Amino acid sequence: MKRILDIILAIILLFILCVPMLIVSLLVKLSSSGPILYWSKRVGKNSKSFLMPKFRTMAVGTPTIATHMLLDASSHLTPIGSFLRKCSLDELPQLWCILNGSMSFIGPRPALFNQDDLIGLRIKYGVDKLRPGITGWAQVNGRDHLSIEEKVKFDTDYLKEASLGMDLKIYWLTLIKVLSQDGVSH
């Protein structure tokens, strides 16, 4: 049922957001050199790797590590990168991952391929069995401000409590967080 809802909602959103996505694409291209999309190697369900697209918010050549690990993350942002991140517009291309089945709307955020600590803890607690999401319980409870251990605790709580009701709560809390730009550090 969740997969069917994901597909229907992704198709509706792609239809509604096609013009804004074209505008963001144009702004990314005009504001910095390099490709419009950044394809990030991520770890998904059952610890399988996949490529996740985002509108590019960082300069070409930025190290492929979690943003919080960069010494001065803001110095790597493109001219519109901060705005795209704060409004979560950089995440819109991930609708493709929902359609192809590598992601869901709700689930733990997919780890970067080199986040061994996060991947290891998710395997230890069984969180790796979940399809990763664009948003999740950890995102609405702290997003960029959580430690790896705290993220996995929230992911584990979601694994134990996953239901349509909890997903609806996460949708609602995500909307509030995105509109208030809460929890985004860069």
pLDDT on residue 71: 66
**For residue 158, what are its two tokens?**
């979601």
Looking at the domain assignment, is residue 186 inside a domain? Answer: no
**For residue 41, what are its two tokens?**
């190697």
Looking at the domain assignment, is residue 152 inside a domain? Answer: yes
Looking at the domain assignment, is residue 15 inside a domain? Answer: yes
**Region of residue 37 (phi > 0: left; psi between -120 and 50: alpha; otherwise: beta):** beta
**For residue 121, what are its two tokens?**
């803890």
Q: How many CA atoms lie within 13 A of 39 on its CB side?
A: 6
Q: Considering its fold, how many domains does the chain have in total?
A: 1
Q: How confident is the model at residue 54 (pLDDT cuts 50, 70, 90)?
A: very high
**For residue 179, what are its two tokens?**
């509109």
- ∠ CA 179-172-136, nearest 5°, is 95
According to DSSP, the residues that pair with 49 across neighbouring strands are 43
Domain range for 154 is 2-180
Residue 180 and residue 140: Cα distance in Å, rounded? 12
Looking at the domain assignment, is residue 39 inside a domain? Answer: yes
Assess whether pLDDT exceeds 90 at residue 61: no
Looking at the domain assignment, is residue 125 inside a domain? Answer: yes
Q: How confident is the model at residue 59 (pLDDT cuts 50, 70, 90)?
A: confident
Tens digits of per-residue pLDDT, 121-165?
999 999 999 999 999 999 999 877 899 999 999 999 999 999 999
Looking at the domain assignment, is residue 54 inside a domain? Answer: yes
Dihedral angle computed from the Cα positions of residues 87, 90, 92 and 97, in that order, rounded to the nearest 10 degrees: -140
Q: What percent of the chain has pLDDT over 70?
A: 90
Q: How confident is the model at residue 91 (pLDDT cuts 50, 70, 90)?
A: very high
Looking at the domain assignment, is residue 30 inside a domain? Answer: yes
Looking at the domain assignment, is residue 185 inside a domain? Answer: no
